[in-house]
Amino acid sequence: MITIANICFGTIDSDGKIGYAPIGTLYIIQALENAGIEVDFRNYLEEYPILDTPKSIQTLVNFLENSENNLFISCNSATLPYVIIACNKLKEKNSSQKIILGGLGPTGVAKEILNTFSCIDIVVLGEGEAATTHLVQNNFDNLSEINGIFYRDKNNQIQMNPRAQRIQDLDNLLPAYHKINPNAYSIFGIVSSRGCPCKCTYCGEEYFWGNGNVKRSPQNIIQEIQFLHEKYGQCRFEFVDDTFVLNKKRVIEFCNLIQQKNLNIEWNFNGLINLMDDDIFQAVSGSGCYEIFYGVESASDRILKTLNKQYSIEQADKVIEKSLQYVDVVLSFIWGFPFETKEDLIKTLEYINQVKETKAKFWLFPLTPVPMSLVYEQNKHQLAFYEETIDEGMDKEVLDIVLKYPEIFPGYYFYNSPNFQELNQIVNSFESVDYNAQSVFVDGLIVPRNS
């Protein structure tokens, strides 16, 4: 038996339910169980779902204590420093325990973690089903033959194996839903595909998943929704991948299947501005879709071009206007790009004012540095930490480790461009924005869509 722990700090909605189920971890558990491996699963979200719960190191250590001798931990950037400190304390009590990290937080800084923290033995990169299964089946021997991992060899040297081959048949995968309490969650995330061919310069998706996009069939997606609907009474779903609309034919086929099977469900998805058209709008609006999310990110065409977005703000505006004729719309905007000027930011804020005159909702977030993204690689030398942005109750051990190793915990930092402070003041004084998120983790944020 092994222990797998999902460590994510979440929040609850007005009904007392957690935002999202830990789908990525559940996929890996199911792969292990399919291989005959017994899994002790520990889900921090269900134990401590409230964002304001004191996130103390001791709480996390207690949560992980008495785990199996092979401990796998999935975490994001927000929880990574807590996890590493807790792992160090666990290793002090049991030096023979093997600790393996995976998930969005560790993947982009795997080498740095192993070089710095001896308590971590292995980091699984990106898509983890195959590597995790092979590690357990091989009893952690012959590590050089297991693709998709960073590890420390017998000479204490850090080694990186080739990336694991991408899983091409996603229809054969299903999350281990039996390992969670389905009634604890307000919405179920559905992964319709893995990987994104878009090359947005601030995003690390390509490094995490690898090149290209691998899709599930519409029939297989419907089967999962029917399973959750019939077994657990789930009626509300969200497609969490960024590329749901990459193939128009697939989208329309999926929507037709919902109507043919008379599924009484609600669902939403992430749209791509440059791929939306009337056919997609008509298909989704008649199939229970109630909302589309667009990552517009900026109203400055100069910024959009630098981010490698394939549209102008004029094009985005037309798509948003069209979308509102069919469904609700949520837009995200980001500020704090190291190449952003005051004029760029003002264009975004003025556009947000324009959005407020419509029915669209919006979020405005500061940019989180994401390792392995192009923006990060070009600007990681100018990370800046602002103590006023952290949680008031942050454990001193966590603060100390974050300050000591910015290259491992960049999610707690901003890009210190020459005018960052000025831009920060402009955002904070912008009356139209309920600006209550000073530190946002791209890979760990759970925000109820009705907020």
The residue type of 152 is: R
CB 71 within 8 A of CB 100: yes
Closest CA to 405 of 25, 174, 111, 3: 111
CA-to-CA distance for 229 and 64, rounded, in angstroms?
32
Per-residue pLDDT, 435: 38
**Cα distances (Å, whole numbers) of residue 416 to 188, 257, 277, 388:** 37, 49, 39, 15
Per residue, the 3-state secondary structure of 299-336, as one string, reads CCHHHHHHCCCCCCHHHHHHHHHHHCCCCEEEEEEEEC
Per-residue pLDDT, 322: 97
What are the tokens at 195? Answer: 């990987």
CB 160 within 8 A of CB 111: yes
Per-residue pLDDT, 45: 84
Closest CA to 356 of 385, 329, 396: 329
What are the tokens at 200? Answer: 């947005």
Per residue, the 3-state secondary structure of the chain, as one string, reads CEEEEEECCCCECCCCCEEECCHHHHHHHHHHHHCCCCEEEEEHHHHCCCCCCCCCHHHHHHHHCCCCCEEEEEECCCCHHHHHHHHHHHHHHCCCCEEEEECHHHHCCHHHHHHHCCCCCEEECCCCHHHHHHHHHCCCCCHHHCCCEEEECCCCCEEECCCCCCCCCHHHCCCCHHHCCHHHEEEEEECCEECCCCCCCCCCHHHHHCCCCEECCHHHHHHHHHHHHHHHCCCEEEECCCCCCCCHHHHHHHHHHHHHCCCCCEEEEEECHHHCCHHHHHHHHCCCEEEEEEEEECCCHHHHHHCCCCCCHHHHHHHHHHHCCCCEEEEEEEECCCCCCHHHHHHHHHHHHHHCCCCCEEEEEECCCCCCCHHHHHHHHHEECCHHHCCCCCCHHHHHHHHHCCCCCHHHCEECCCCHHHHHHHHHHCCCCCCCCCCCCCCCCCCCCCC
Per-residue pLDDT, 51: 52
Residue spans of the chain under pLDDT 50: 52, 433-451
Do the strands 149-152 and 122-124 form a parallel or antiparallel pair, or are they unpaired?
A: antiparallel
Per-residue pLDDT, 75: 94
Closest CA to 89 of 55, 126, 64, 110: 64
Closest CA to 392 of 33, 4, 23, 52: 52
**Cα distances (Å, whole numbers) of residue 107 to 5, 74, 261:** 16, 10, 40
Chain centre to alpha carbon of residue 408: 17
Closest CA to 147 of 120, 165, 171: 165
What are the tokens at 432? Answer: 């139209």
Per-residue pLDDT, 50: 61
In the numeric block, the tokens 């960073």 are attached to 150
What is the value of pTM for the model shown?
A: 0.92
Closest CA to 296 of 256, 251, 351, 247: 351
